[in-house]
Structure 1
Amino acid sequence: MKKSQSIVSNMEKKKSFHFLITISWLLLLLVIWQGIVVGFHVSDWILPKPTSIAQQLYDMKDILWPNIWQTLQEVLLGLCLSILLGAAVAIIMDVVPIFHVLIRPLLVISQTVPIVAIAPLLIVWFGFGLLPKMLVVILICFFPITLNILEGFQTVDPNLLKLFKTMHAKKWQLYQKVKFPAVLPYFFSGLKIAVTYSVMGAIIGEWLGASEGLGVMLTRATKSFLTSQLFAIAAIIVGLTFILYTIVELLQRLVAPWIYRKGEKK
């Protein structure tokens, strides 16, 4: 018991140490950035100082939240639907092998067509509301989730499946007891990829037609050559993506903690 507590304590210390190194490294990069801009007298419209970006964020505080919330709605709704749709399609392809042959090429094709070519069509078909932005997010996030779940199904131990079948386990029991637990690491890997693309998908949708959102703010800042504002909005997008990624990691720790235990043992 004492040994396991000591291992856990050492792991927590190691994580804290890594976190401090990461924060220190990021702060050092910001200091170097500030020093270069100030030292070489670079104009803010070419490359703004980190302090100028921070000031811009403070100046925009009253208009930021409504735009962040608009983009966040598109991202969260699109992600949730991507997970449901991706899981459903992957399960159907696993249950009925012929669908694997029929649907897989369509999944690949969906990723070869540029989103910037599809997004205007979605605007034409569904208007300028929330739906076309959600669909852009779904088109971007659906593929990695579906593909990773399929990969997970293919790595399930066949001997374990045979054992459950000899015990007369039903189809849904095979999924509940064997396949779903085995697929979780792959599902979360796909979700981590999807969540990093989701914000970008919402931004692309807003570029092509919206009245509110971070994409709209980004477009206006670009057209007005407001470089400090452009960097400030980009920082919010990066921060939002990082928060979503961290939430997925926390969910993975809660739902499938054995994944991290295996990694820590290595």
Structure 2
Amino acid sequence: MRSWWKNVWPPLVAVIFFLLVWQLLTSLFHIEQWILPAPSDIAREAAAASGGLWEHVWATLKLTVFGFAIGTAIGLVIALILHLIPFLKQALYPLLILSQNIPTIALAPLLMIWFGFGLLPKLIVITLVCFFPVAVAALGGLKQTDPVMMNYMRMIGAGKGQIFAKLELPHALPSIFSGIKIAATYSVMGAIIAEWLGADKGIGYYMMLQKSGYRTDRMFVAIMIIVVLSLLMFGLIALLEKWFVRWKPKQG
């Protein structure tokens, strides 16, 4: 408990200090609410609109979880295939990197044209955002397997499957979870971008409505929800990492 609190209180104090400075500056300089609302105005609006927001939050959360799961699975499969077939890795790894040079916001309209305005193009957008950090992190972790242990297992007659299951995969788990944590935070933003381009509910859709009405306070409410969802996704993966990677040494 003390260790958990030791890690939490420094960023918590920093956030509280930032909010206090924000509140003070908006009051001191009499900044109009439609330009930059104070934290108290945002909190008041969040409480007033909480009933109507749940439907949008739930829609975004479902889209995020589905897209994140698909993107993570595809990233792990790609990493496994490229690791087991070195020739494919040499041929396809540069293309894997180039796939991230296309802005998602530019590709998403094409997906809407090709696949319509249903669920599929939205899941593709989130998958494209999530699979890359998982694949790259998994490939890096599998590549860093201890060569001494690798030679030892070969000497005692271990097959490729045994080496992968008992040495390479466990050794790569910390790197894999690092990529998954990055993908978890990206997945929320991927869902928001997908909703911007075509949806009838969700936080992204809610933001577009409030932007049209110049409701800056409600825009900040949506941003707060996005931050909370990203932190929840990250925290869940961090808990899973502690469960699966119990042998990992503690960081000082």
2:17 corresponds, among 18, 22, 28, to 28
Aligned to 2:191: 202
Aligned to 1:149: 138
Give the CA deviation at 1:170: 2.1
Question: What stretches of structure 1 of length at least 5 have no aligned partner?
Answer: 1-11
2:235 and 2:3 map into 1 onto residues whose CA distance is 18
Identity of aligned residues (%): 36
Aligned to 2:241: 252
1:135 corresponds, among 119, 124, 144, to 124
* Conservation of the 8 A alpha-carbon contact between 2:72 and 2:183: no
Aligned to 2:232: 243
Aligned to 2:62: 73
Give the CA deviation at 1:112: 0.7
Aligned residues: 252
RMSD of Structure 2 on Structure 1 (CA): 1.4
Q: Which letter does structure 1 place at the counterpart of 2:61?
A: L
Question: What stretches of structure 2 of length at least 5 have no aligned partner?
Answer: none
1:1-266 correspondence to structure 2 within 5 Å: 12-259=1-248, 261-264=249-252
Deviates more, 1:232-241 or 1:156-165: 156-165
Give the CA deviation at 1:14: 4.3
1:152 and 1:17 map into 2 onto residues whose CA distance is 29
1:194 and 1:100 map into 2 onto residues whose CA distance is 21
1:69 and 1:41 map into 2 onto residues whose CA distance is 36
* Conservation of the 8 A alpha-carbon contact between 2:137 and 2:176: yes
Q: Which letter does structure 1 place at the counterpart of 2:251?
A: G
1:254 and 1:79 map into 2 onto residues whose CA distance is 20
Superposed CA deviations along residues 157-209 of structure 1, whole A, max 9, x for unmatched, are 12211211222222221111001111111101111211121111111111111
Q: Which letter does structure 1 place at the counterpart of 2:25?
A: I
The TM-score, its normalising length taken from structure 1, stands at 0.90
1:92 and 1:18 map into 2 onto residues whose CA distance is 37
2:5 and 2:109 map into 1 onto residues whose CA distance is 46
